[in-house]
């Protein structure tokens, strides 16, 4: 095993690289620009979801020829270059007001620094979580291996100045504290920024921490109403627009942003079976392989969702009956994985949420908790995790792997390993 001091040096180097890589790009156009623009529009009382612009475009475009009419040019330019790109709940745009009052480069730098600090603290909380249950050398080496396996996602995240590190920190804070009101506060804030952390409500229900659940819903109400203290009608309008434009779009149609780099379950099914889900890339790989209508694909997705839900219940049931079968860490790891693969949109950076599960699996691997077949499955999943990287396989092969959604299959294998390994014991 790698000496502890060497592992710590490598971890420190990786974090320094991530810090420099993210902060040095603060002037670039990133996902933060969408957040920044939405926050500025929130302050100005403008439509942050471009609801009216998109409705206007839908009303005017009846055929392909309508797109090329001169009078459509200003509206199309607005839609392509600015509006409709912000997909988070309106409270997030409101919470960013303190930094969006600055010029974009300054706001981007502040957000990038806060982003990196969130990653460091989330990683620290993960180490503290596992520390009582394993020896320090094993833990540090497991953390190093997990960082290496997830490094592409972490790097992609800092390059795009995304919000995932904040969510990861908030989830870890909610899981680490024993105070129910703090758990509810942190988890509700994560949910109000992005819905996917809501899956961790399952953990608190399983742990019978019903007060934490109650506080979560109470604080959700607080976060929902907070912008309305200043802009009641405008806040309500934004929530209605978000529900119509984003939430309902994800629930009603599987082709919502079902592009090559979207590795979620629903997007993968859309790429496989629905025409024009990603017309450019589908044509390159003779997709869809079988043509289906969106309703059929949604039914398939719902069936898969039920199967995975039953598998999760199996894990929770065994954990309740046989206390040693599934530790809290295994349940939390499974929820982290599910939050990614069943999200409506799972870009490459979203898979940074695999950091906790991979640390847990690496610890089990090093401490002899896996059989030979368990270890084979672990390495197959880990190989799928790192394989779609143009630095290793070239741009063409990477594009094909991403179109086939190999990261999704890595997540599925990790989840199955978390549910079933050592069950014979």
Contacts with 344 (C-beta within 8 Å, 6 or more apart), sequence order: 250, 256, 257, 264, 266, 267
How far is residue 243 from each of residues 20, 44, 238, 248, 251, measured CA to CA in Å?
Answer: 37, 21, 9, 6, 10
Predicted confidence at residue 47, as pLDDT, reads 86
Tokens for 42, please give them: 């929130």
Question: Greatest CA separation found in the chain?
Answer: 70
Task: Read off the pTM.
Answer: 0.91
C-alpha–C-alpha distance, residues 106 and 47, integer Å: 24
Helical axes 210-225 vs 180-193, angle rounded to 10°: 50
How far is residue 168 from each of residues 45, 47, 163, 284, measured CA to CA in Å?
Answer: 30, 29, 9, 35
Which 3-state string (H, E, C) describes the chain?
Answer: CCCHHHHHHHHHHHHHHHHHHHHCCCCCCCHHHHHHHHHHHHHHCCCCCCHHHHHHHHHHCCCHHHHHCHHHHHHHHHHHHCCCCCCCCHHHHHHCHHHHCCCHHHHHHHHHHHHHHHHHHHHHHHHHHHHHHCCHHHHHHHHHHHHHHCHHHHHHHHHHCCCHHHHHHHHHHHHHCCCHHHHHHHHHHHHHHCCHHHHHHHHHHHCCCHHHHHHHHHHHHHHHHHHHHCCHHHHHHHHHHHHHHHHHHHHHCCCCCCCCCCCCHHHHHHHHHCCCCCHHHHHHCCCCCCCCCHHHHHHHHHHHHHHHHHHHHHHHHHHHHCCCCCCHHHHHHHHHHHHHHCCCCCCHHHHHHHHHHHHHHHHHHHCCCCCHHHHHHHHHHHHHHHCCCHHHHCHHHHHHHHHCCHHHHHHHHHHHHHHHCCCCC
Low-confidence residues of the chain: pLDDT under 50: 58, 61-64, 66, 76, 79-84, 423-425
Hey, how many other C-beta atoms are within 10 angstroms of the C-beta on 373?
A: 10
Q: How many CA atoms lie within 13 A of 15 on its CB side?
A: 20
CA 233 to chain CA mean position, Å? 30
Q: Residues 183, 212: contact at Cβ < 8 Å?
A: yes
Predicted confidence at residue 166, as pLDDT, reads 97
Tokens for 76, please give them: 């199309």
30-76 pLDDT, tens digit per residue, is: 899 999 999 999 998 888 887 665 555 545 544 445 455 565 555 54
Tokens for 12, please give them: 């420190």
Q: Which of 310, 319, 338, 332 is nearest to 423 (CA)?
A: 319
Tokens for 192, please give them: 């109000």
Structural domain boundaries in the chain? 254-425
Predicted confidence at residue 424, as pLDDT, reads 43
Predicted confidence at residue 81, as pLDDT, reads 46
Predicted confidence at residue 294, as pLDDT, reads 87
Q: Residues 388, 406: contact at Cβ < 8 Å?
A: yes
The burial class, CB within 10 Å (0-12 / 13-18 / 19+), for 267 is buried
Tokens for 258, please give them: 């079902």
């Amino acid at each position: 095993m790698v000496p502890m001091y060497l592992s710590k040096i490598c971890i420190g180097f990786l974090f320094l690289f991530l810090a420099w890589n993210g902060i040095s790009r603060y002037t670039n156009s990133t996902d933060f620009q969408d957040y920044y623009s939405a926050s500025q529009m929130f302050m100005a009382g403008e439509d942050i979801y471009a609801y009216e612009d998109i409705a206007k475009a839908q009303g005017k475009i009846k055929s392909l020829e309508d797109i090329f009419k001169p009078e459509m040019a200003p509206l199309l330019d607005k839609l392509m270059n600015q509006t409709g790109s912000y997909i988070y709940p309106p409270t997030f745009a409101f919470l960013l007001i303190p930094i969006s009052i600055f010029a974009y480069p300054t706001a981007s730098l502040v957000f990038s620094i806060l982003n990196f600090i969130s990653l460091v603290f989330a990683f620290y909380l993960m180490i503290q979580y596992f520390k009582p249950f394993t020896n320090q050398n094993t833990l540090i080496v497991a953390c190093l291996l997990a960082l290496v396996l997830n490094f592409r996602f972490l790097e992609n995240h800092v390059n795009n100045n995304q919000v995932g590190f904040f969510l990861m920190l908030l989830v870890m804070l909610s899981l680490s504290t024993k105070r129910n009101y703090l758990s509810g506060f942190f988890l509700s804030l994560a949910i109000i920024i992005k819905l996917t952390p809501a899956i961790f409500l399952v953990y608190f229900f399983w742990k019978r921490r019903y007060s934490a659940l109650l506080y979560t819903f109470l604080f959700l109400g607080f976060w929902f109403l907070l912008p309305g203290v200043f802009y009641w009608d405008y806040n309500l309008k934004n929530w209605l627009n978000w529900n119509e434009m984003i939430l309902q779009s994800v629930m009603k149609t599987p082709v919502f942003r079902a592009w090559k780099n979207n590795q979620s379950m629903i997007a993968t099914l859309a790429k496989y079976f629905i025409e024009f889900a990603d017309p450019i890339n589908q044509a390159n790989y003779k997709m869809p392989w079988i043509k289906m209508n969106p309703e059929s694909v949604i039914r398939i997705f719902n069936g898969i969702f039920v199967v995975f839900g039953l598998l999760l219940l199996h894990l929770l049931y065994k954990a309740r009956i046989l206390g040693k079968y599934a530790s809290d860490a295994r349940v939390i790891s499974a929820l982290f994985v599910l939050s990614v693969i069943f999200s409506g949109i799972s870009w490459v950076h979203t898979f940074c949420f695999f950091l906790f599960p991979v640390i847990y699996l690496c610890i089990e691997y090093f401490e002899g908790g896996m059989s030979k077949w368990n270890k084979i499955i672990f390495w197959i999943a880990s190989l799928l995790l790192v394989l779609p990287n143009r630095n290793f396989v070239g741009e063409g092969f990477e594009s094909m792997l991403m179109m086939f959604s190999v990261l999704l299959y890595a997540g599925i294998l990790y989840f199955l390993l978390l549910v079933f390994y050592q069950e014979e014991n």
